[in-house]
Amino acid sequence: MKNLFLFLTFLTLSVNTIAQENQQIKPSQDSTKIEKLNEVIVRAVRVKLDAPVTHSNLTKKEISKRNLGQDIPILLNYLPSVVSSSDAGAGIGYTHIRVRGSDATRINVTINGIPYNDAESQGTFWVNLGDFSSSIQSLQLQRGVGTSTNGSGAFGASLNILTDAISKGANAEISNSFGSYGTRKHTIKFSTGKLNNHFEISGRLSNIYSDGYVDRAFADLKSYFLQASYVDDNTLIKVITFGGKEKTYQAWFGLTVEQLKKNRRQNPYTYDNETDNYEQNHYQFHWNEQLNKYWSTNIGLNYTKGEGYFEQFKENKKVADFNGIVEATDGSRTDLIVRRWLDNDFYVANFNVAYQKKALDIISGISYSNYLGDHFGEVIWAKQFADNANIRDQYYFSDAKKTDFSIFSKATFRIANNLKAFVDLQGRFVNYKTAGLTSDRNPIDINSDFSFFNPKVGFSYNINNENNLYISYARANREPNRKDFELNENVKSEKLNNVELGWRLKNKSIKLNANIYYMQYKDQLILTGDIDDTGDYRRENVANSYRLGLEFDADIRLGNKFYIRPNIAISSNKIKDFILNRDGISKNLGDTNIAFSPNIIAGNALVYQPVENLQLSFLSKYVGEQYLSNTDTEASKLDSYFTSDFNIFYELKTKSIFKSIVFTGLVNNVFNKEYVGRGYTYLDFWSTPGNSFEVQGYYPQATTNFLVGVTLKF
């Protein structure tokens, strides 16, 4: 990391010299060609503006105005149907996102068309990609099933990210930001621009640190991004490596009701090194080729290496749970410290071929991934080791292998002058094997195969130049994750039928999107409301459930200097005839609300731009009440909340040394609202008069806090 920092620093200091020497840059038409070639990387997973898929887009420029160190889920918070939060409360470290009530395990994430979700847990861990928003060219969030994607099936949304495009001119920037709770971000970026009209090297090095709103819940995130590119009229080749190393103090278990009332910033952990330590590095190769006027191909290869552990102090635990490594001084129990490790390798190969001529657009492709992962735990300290035991002896071990092969073909074609059809067919074939012991020393021996067929069809109709209607149907299937198997070896895969009906309006003063969706599930794996010993929510199958909603978002200009961007989502999220099983007793609770699914989510941005280089934004978010379990009991209800942020962005153009200086400021939670972003509950007995929940946990979010930053652009 130190050598990489020195390398980037040298290139940053010398990049202006390169810019002066490199005077053979083609005109803007060349830049447009590069942009189109770059977009081919994500063509297989993205949709166009008029496609019959409900989606939102964010550009690099839009992201940069609030990019002061907070993670990507926080930056997406103001998109329709999105709810985000963080363990530490300040938006840095372990952050979480839900779309239409669906959590991260059900949101398919790709980076340059490569799956990013963890193959086993299916979750997305943004903590491993600190400051990745500084290397994003654009992103698209598709709500619902969306289009065919690589990797785990989308059951709530798809988020596909395109990293930095080639810069036609040499440039560099140094960015620093500071804020509440000891938060700071330091970023250095550079690009050589096009050398000899064909080559470019660019990169980024970042460090983000925050003490966290919650006591001791610090996050120390080091990350990098490095890209080498070759481009000509018909070819774009990119070699990319990026990754990061994180160390965070745990705040996985939130606070009880009593702790929240006493001091909402306290952290129950007391052991000094109760930390998570993980490093993840990605290596990607992309080759886009325009074969002729109509045909193009794309090859994408990826290798990801992940390795790390979290350390925990365990008090008064059973000796028998640790494989004879330790002995107890007071009978069968003892205190000890463990490290639980993950060591994994992830390989991906994608190949797509596309044909486009007039009103016909076809793309077909295949994707194959192979995941290899080891899970094991070490005892690094105990009051007393057994006679034949040594420090770092393993008390459990299991290995895992998951292969995922998919083949798809999708086409958009014109039926009439104003009517387009969209057809998307995907076959997906998964094998998951694991053998050994879980951290509780229970056997986990799985060898399961899944074969899924996921068809999608839609129609888009242009009423006139300003109005567009669309309707679509999509079928999705999804396999259980590792922890689902741990809880129930007979767990079922889940199925989803998704219908979307939408209207789009676009003219000079207004952009408007409105849609109705119906998502009908069979054997949906819903969150039960309780968490495991790593803070992850447990899930279980329910036979029948659905999500029905109305979404609306707009961009309305009020003259030349003001515009507003409101959005609202109103939904009903139900389990039909929910059967609650506890202590061998079953009870039908009738139709109940799905946990973590607010019926109302609304947002708004009021933007004032008096001049081109100054923008003031007042952002508001409302999240309606939601339940922490699926039982509709008052004790499991999480209150609604309304928060507001203020954002200022100003770019000062200069004539010497710097191209410009950018000042950015962000005040989060302007009105100092004390609110809880999410929580959990353990339901151990029936909810009858006199009974209550044995354990509840809440994750408090930060009150008023600020971030300010300065970026020097060369």
- CATH number of the domain within which 33 lies: 2.40.170.20
pTM of the predicted model as reported, rounded to 2 decimal places = 0.91
Q: What is the mean pLDDT of residues 484-488?
A: 92
- C-alpha of 632 from chain center: 28
Closest CA to 306 of 532, 116, 96: 116
For residue 104, give the DSSP letter: G
E strand intervals along 80-218: 82-86, 95-99, 107-111, 114-115, 136-143, 157-163, 171-179, 183-191, 199-210
Give the helix/strand (H/E) hosting 248. Answer: strand 235-249
Q: Looking at residue 140, what is its pLDDT?
A: 94
pLDDT at residue 535 is higher than 90: no
What does the mean pLDDT of the chain come to?
A: 90
Distance CA 85, CA 92 (A): 10
pLDDT interval class at 355 (50, 70, 90): very high
Who has greater pLDDT, 692 or 317? Answer: 317
The region that residue 331 occupies, defined by phi over 0 for left and psi between -120 and 50 for alpha, beta otherwise, is left
Distance CA 645, CA 77 (A): 11
CB count, 10 Å around CB of 383? 12
What does the pLDDT read at residue 694?
54
**Section 349-362 average pLDDT:** 92
Contact at 8 Å (CB) between 237 and 229? yes
Q: Which value, to the nearest 10 degrees, does the dihedral of the CA atoms of residues 366, 429, 375, 679 take?
A: 100
Whether 543 contacts 550, CB under 8 Å = no
Mean predicted confidence (pLDDT) in 270-298: 94
Instruction: Average the pLDDT over 315-329 and give the result.
Output: 87
Residue 9, SS3 per DSSP? helix
- Residue 221, beta-bridge partner list: 208, 246
Residue 65 or 331, more confident: 65
Domain span at residue 491? 2-713
Calculate mean pLDDT across residues 93-117: 94
CA distance 444 to 653: 61
Which band of pLDDT confidence, cut at 50, 70 and 90, is reported for residue 30?
low
Rounded CA-CA distance 157/161 in Å is 13
**pLDDT(143) > 60:** yes
Q: Alpha-carbon distance 356 to 527, whole Å?
A: 43
Q: What distances in angstroms separate CA 166 from CA 37, 163, 237, 412, 574, one per listed residue?
A: 10, 10, 11, 29, 47
In the chain, % of residues over pLDDT 70: 92
Whole-Å CA distances, 473 to 144, 190, 498, 518, 594:
10, 44, 6, 10, 23
CA 431, 491, 107, 401 torsion-angle sign: negative
What is the helix, strand, coil percentage profile of the chain, to 5? 10, 55, 30
Give the lowest-confidence range in 34-48, 90-104, 132-146, 632-646. 34-48
State the pairing for strand pair 157-163/107-111.
parallel
**What is the mean predicted confidence (pLDDT) over 178-205?**
95
Q: How many domains does the chain have?
A: 1
* Residue 491 predicted with pLDDT over 80: yes
Measure Cα distances from 153 to 54, 144, 595, 631 in Å.
17, 11, 21, 27
- Round to whole Å and give the CA distance between 89 and 675: 10
